[in-house]
Structure 1
Amino acid sequence: MATCILLTQLAHAAPETDETPPAEPERRVVDRIRAACPEVEWAGSRAVLGPYDRLDVFRASDGGTAIEGATIVRRLGHARAEVWGATEWLRSKELARDALGAPGG
C-alpha cells in the first residue's frame, strides 16, 4: 500500500458572510469514496492553515486508486485537491542511499 497525502481547498462562502459550508457534501464525499475505493485506508485528517483547508493521509493500493479518491473529492466536494505520494523519512533515506549505491549505515 502506498501512503498518500491529500490536500484540499474547500469552496467557501463569500468572505463577507459568516456562513460555513454545510456538512452534507462532506458526508456524500466520504460515502462515495468508501463505495468506490473500499481498499483505501484513512490514517488521519487535519485542518491546516495556509492555502489549503484540510490535509488527509491515506493508504491506497496504487496510484489509480489515489487519483480516483481525489477526483471524487474534487467533483462532489466542489473543492481543489492535490494528491502527493509520501514515504516515511527514514525509508526515504534508505531508498536514496540504495539509489546512489552508498554503503548502509
Structure 2
Amino acid sequence: MGTYVMLTRLSPEAVARPQSLTELNEQVESRIKKECPEVKWIANYAVLGGVDYIDFFEAPDADSATKVALIVRSFGHATTETWIATPWDRFVNLVSTIKT
C-alpha cells in the first residue's frame, strides 16, 4: 500500500455556510468508504494557508488514490492535489541502493 497526501481547497460557495462543512465531509467520507473499501484513512487536518484540508490515506495503487480525489471533486466544492509519500525509512533504503 502506498501512502498518499491530498491537499484540498474548498470553493467560496462551500464555505458560504460553514455549518454545512461537517455534513459535506460526512457525505464524502461515506462515499469513499463505499466506493473505495481498500483505502485506509490515516488522518485529516483542517489547516490555515493555501489549502483548507490535508488528508493522509493509504491506497493499493495510484488508480485507487485517483478515485479518492475524483470522489472529493465530484461534489463540486473543492479542488485537490494528491502526492505519494515515501516513509523515511523506505526512502533511506532506496537511497542506499543508488550506485555513485
Give your verdict on TM over 0.5.
yes
Q: How far off is 1:13 after superposition?
A: 4.3
Change (3 A) 1:64 1:14: closer
Q: Stretches of 4+ moved more than 4 A in 1? A: none
- Could you list the runs of 5+ residues in structure 1 that have no partner in the other structure? none
Q: How far off is 1:49 after superposition?
A: 1.8
For 2:2 and 2:54, how far apart are their aligned partners in 1?
16
Root-mean-square deviation over aligned CA pairs: 2.1
Give the structure 2 partner of residue 20 of structure 1. Answer: 18
* Match status 1:97 vs 2:96: yes
* Overall identity of the aligned pairs, in %: 39
For 2:28 and 2:54, how far apart are their aligned partners in 1?
15
- Could you list the runs of 5+ residues in structure 2 that have no partner in the other structure? none
For 2:14 and 2:46, how far apart are their aligned partners in 1?
20
TM-score using structure 1 length: 0.83
**Matched residue count:** 99
Task: Look up the SS of the partner of 1:95 in the other structure.
Answer: helix
TM-score using structure 2 length: 0.87
